[in-house]
Structure 1
Amino acid sequence: MTTPTSYFEHLYARDADPWSFATRWYDARKHALTVDSLPRRHYRSGFEPGCSTGRLTARLAARCDRLLSVDAIPSAVATAAGHLAAHPHVTVRTARMPTDWPDETFDLIVLSELGYYFDDHDLRTLLDRTVAALEPGGDLIAVHWRHPVDEHARPGDEVHERLGAQPGLARQARHEEADFLLEVFTRTPPEPRSVAQTEGLA
């Protein structure tokens, strides 16, 4: 089953930063690697579902002309909005995925620590809507924890297996560690080009 919203509500009720994003080096490093893995220097419009307290959002804000970040938990949205108050081009709002998927397109979508909370039906819907909302040539970056968690519907590696089999996506990069898996995909067609090819170096 998809992890119920009440699980997250209880987490945030006990602690405004339940995963210690503000203090943990593991997450600061992972967030930096996530943003550094983006193939383009800048994006017109980004979407980050499951933004939590907005720590990754703040890094993404510097790479996007416009960024929409959402989370299902209002208290998390309030915390994220506070962190992003100095960035008027960032919109943070409450939305539950995949039901409340926005009716617009993006050239960047970020799925960070999100996919393993969904059952088969909801994950399929999430991935289908991700591809449909990603503009041709747009980038999708996905990063997921690899260790077992009781509240996860599936391992992080399985989420990436599903992404790799999703029509309309071509894998551009893969970073694998014992703790997490990070991959970058590009929406096809057109055929994806590497950073060096884009800059005329190859």
Structure 2
Amino acid sequence: MSLPTEYFDEMYRADGDPWKFETRWYEERKYALTLAALPRRRYRSAFEPGCSIGVLSAALAPRCDALLSTDVAAKAVAATRARVPAARVEQRRIPEDFPDGPFDLIVLSEVGYYLDSGALARLVDATVAALEPGGDLVLVHWRHPVADYPLDGDTVHDAFAGRPELERTVAHVEDDFRLEVYARTPPAARSVAAAEGLC
């Protein structure tokens, strides 16, 4: 079973930053790698579910004409609204309340393993449907087991890797987390250098 909304509400009742996104070097470094992995300098319309308190949202917003950040927890939504006034921030539960798009960037950072396998399959379908041709999908997930979580990060990434509409353009794997970027095809994916006419 996917984790219920109450699980996250309780986390934020106990601590305004339960995963220490604001203070851990691990998180700061991971966000820097995530931003560096984005193939484009700027995006027209981005979607970031599971935004938590908006630390990554604040870094994404300057690179997006429009950013929709969502979270299932009301306290997280309020924190992100205060931190990132340029973003549209809404309370939504995925995959049930996945927006239609189209988006040229979707960032799934530390969200997939909260779902059970059925919900993950629906998330994959919804993500592929909402990502426009040529758009970029960013996946970032913790790889160590967590007793509360229905799935692990590698299982989440493997579910997306099996979709023929997605072509991987970036892969960064460490003991702690896995970071990948996929392009929605067609058209065929191109490297950053190829897109800039360097090769």
Letter of the 1:158 counterpart = T
Provide structure 2 residue ranges, at least 5 long, that are not aligned to the other structure. none
Letter of the 2:116 counterpart = D
TM-score by length of 2: 0.98
Provide structure 1 residue ranges, at least 5 long, that are not aligned to the other structure. none
Is 1:163 the counterpart of 2:163 in the alignment? Answer: no
Which residue does 2:34 correspond to in 1? 34
Map Cα deviations across residues 56-86 of structure 1 (whole Å, 9 max, x no partner): 000100110100000000010001111112x
Map Cα deviations across residues 99-124 of structure 1 (whole Å, 9 max, x no partner): 11112210000000011111111101
Alignment of 1:70-89 (within 5 A): 70-85=70-85, 87=86
Output the CA distance in 1 between the equivalents of 2:101 and 2:179. 25
Tell me how far 1:163 sits from its aligned partner: 1.0
Alignment of 1:1-202 (within 5 A): 1-85=1-85, 87=86, 90-202=87-199
- State the SS of the aligned residue for 1:62: helix
- State the SS of the aligned residue for 2:187: coil
Map Cα deviations across residues 16-48 of structure 1 (whole Å, 9 max, x no partner): 110111111110110111111000010000000
Map Cα deviations across residues 142-199 of structure 1 (whole Å, 9 max, x no partner): 0000011011111111111111102310000100111000000000011101101000
Output the CA distance in 1 between the equivalents of 2:160 and 2:118. 14
| Aligned residues of 2:101 and 2:131 also touching (Cα < 8 A) | no
**Runs of 4+ residues over 4 Å off in structure 1:** none
CA RMSD of aligned residues (A): 0.7
Output the CA distance in 2 between the equivalents of 1:94 and 1:184. 25
Output the CA distance in 2 between the equivalents of 1:82 and 1:9. 18
